[in-house]
Structure 1
């Protein structure tokens, strides 16, 4: 009975690890979609505000608001990725606990958070951070000064 329970728990943990891995890709896709839409809206506002007879200050506020929304989406996505990585660590440790007890101690090597630079989540977070910084810098250099 104990081994059957351990096997079922092990299967559940494996499913959760798989789901956590898939979620990181979903979160990145959501970020890319929303960031692209928000930045496109900001660029459309920049290009069309004169034609639409929108005051420059209002247009600037709109561009800044859209960039703030893109930053919030980035922060939310980053939070979900970090929480997913922490959940993955927890599931992997639980997996190791089960294999240590049922199979043999040390059967499955525990995850090492020191391997941070080998995790794709690290590079996803770096991409998100770099893209948000790039959006703000480019808007500050090109868009906002031109909207006077």
Structure 2
């Protein structure tokens, strides 16, 4: 029985470590998205401001802006995917944590996570931020940048 409890304790430590890592990853993914999106949008704005001075055809400059915004959108989609996968992994690890505590400590020691509580998860708002920022980039480009590049 002692070996079983020691194994359960080690597994429990591992699960808690993984939960912590999953939580930290969401922040890393957001930082990567913010950095790459800022760089890509800055490049698009630099292209918009300097295309005449660089003797680029307006159609080429428009294509460049669209390409940079498309790349920012791909980065956003990739980041969103990583955040969703991380949230699913978190749910899995939390359920495993509950399985261990149910068996070793007693049933109901730790409440199981409920996916219905997604409005309380910060990942939900990170995903909303990413979605709103991508929509805002495209709308502003369509309203102001692309029409001015004729």
TM-score scaled by structure 2?
0.98
Give the distance between the partners of 2:82 and 2:115, measured in 1 at CA.
Answer: 18
Matched ranges for 1:115-126 at <5 A: 115-126=117-128
The number of aligned residues is 148
CA offset digits 1:90-121 (Å, max 9, x no partner): 00000000000000000000001110100000
Question: What is the RMSD computed on CA atoms of the aligned residues?
Answer: 0.2
**1:69 Cα deviation from its structure 2 partner:** 0.2
Which of 2, 10, 13 aligns to 1:11? It is: 13
**1:16 Cα deviation from its structure 2 partner:** 0.2
Matched ranges for 1:124-143 at <5 A: 124-143=126-145
Asked whether 1:88 is paired with 2:90, we answer yes
Give the distance between the partners of 1:116 and 1:100, measured in 2 at CA.
Answer: 24
**1:40 Cα deviation from its structure 2 partner:** 0.1
Which of 92, 100, 110 aligns to 2:102? It is: 100
CA offset digits 1:58-96 (Å, max 9, x no partner): 000000000000000000000000000000000000000
What corresponds to 1:112 in structure 2? 114
**1:135 Cα deviation from its structure 2 partner:** 0.1
Q: Where does structure 1 differ by over 4 angstroms across 4 or more consecutive aligned residues?
A: none
